[in-house]
Amino acid sequence: MKLLAVDVGGTYTKYARYDSEGEKLRELPKQLTPQSTTSDLISQIVGVQNTHQDIEGIAISMPGTLDNRTGYIYQGGALQYNSGKNIVELLTQAAHCQVAVENDARCAAMAEMWKGNLIGINNALVLVLGTGLGGAIVQNGEIYRGTHLYAGELSILMTKSITEYGLQAVLGAQVGIPAFVNEVGEKLGRKITGPQLFELVKERNAIATEAFQQYIDNFVPQLFNFQIMYDPQKILIGGGVSNNPVFVNQLRQSLEEFYDRLPIHIAHDPLGVCKFGSEANLLGAVKNYLDRERASE
């Protein structure tokens, strides 16, 4: 079976071809994610599908609170135009093939449980850093979704006064990577990319280093809070930035220093990364597709 795996992000949408064993056959060019309508998004996905006539199914990872059994999106996360839409029904009609969808962070967790760094782990938390902060809770070896499917929606945690800070009061707005990169670029007076930002940090550029330390100082206490709330065996970081050693090493070191300053010992595993990095969402989308196919038999 040949599957088109689609990782819809707030900024870019990634595409790849996979087989039914979870082997990536070919990486396809990523595209800017449509920012206006669900119809535009569907048109883009179908356009990619049409260039590969042997595709038998479409496996999607995307942001938002959604039901992977039905495909209904209760709220679209970084892509609010998807709220109240059934992406599986709409895309099935347009693509004329079987479609499955799951939340992006849950896809990352499924990939790591299937073939990655969560094999044999019963309790874990997977954090996917992108436009916002996706979260997936693994409890007793299964994805925990909660009563209303909101479990793991860490991007909308309130860490400041919403009256005073508006949307910046939610954690996703504070730790999302594109917004952070743009903020540093404005301070530098030029447009930069994520890799360029962390290269500046590596070179000890004063502006980039100070901004990154502020980012870390804001994020680390929340990572501690997650450890206390969920008490997982492992916390893994995913998303494209998890491939950057400057980011990961500084975040891990600062978190360990935070634990060392506590008056009591808190048992925890050092912060880890997804084995599949930025590809975890794609692989997890394939796993969800295969699981949904088996469930329907």
Instruction: Give the contacts of 204 (CB within 8 A, at least 6 positions apart).
Output: none
**218 in any annotated domain:** yes
Residue 113 lies in a domain: no
Mean per-residue pLDDT of the chain:
96
Report how far apart, in Å, the C-alpha atoms of 132 and of each of 17, 125, 156, 170, 233 are. 26, 16, 9, 10, 24
Q: What pLDDT sits at residue 62? A: 96
Q: Is the pLDDT of residue 222 over 80?
A: yes
**125 and 103: one domain?**
no
In a domain, 116, yes or no: no
CA–CA separation, 253 and 270 (whole Å): 9
Q: Where does 145-216 show beta strands of DSSP type E?
A: none
Q: What is the pLDDT of residue 241?
A: 94
How long a stretch of residues is the chain? 297
Residues of the domain holding 238: 121-274
Total domains present in the chain? 2
CA neighbours closer than 13 Å in the CB half-sphere of residue 72: 6
Give the amino acid at 36. S
What's the mean pLDDT in 192-216?
Answer: 96
Same domain, 244 and 143: yes
**Residue 297 pLDDT > 80, yes or no?**
no
Please indicate, yes or no, if residue 114 is contained in any of the structural domains.
no
pLDDT at position 192: 97
In a domain, 133, yes or no: yes
On whether both 21 and 128 belong to a single domain, the answer is no
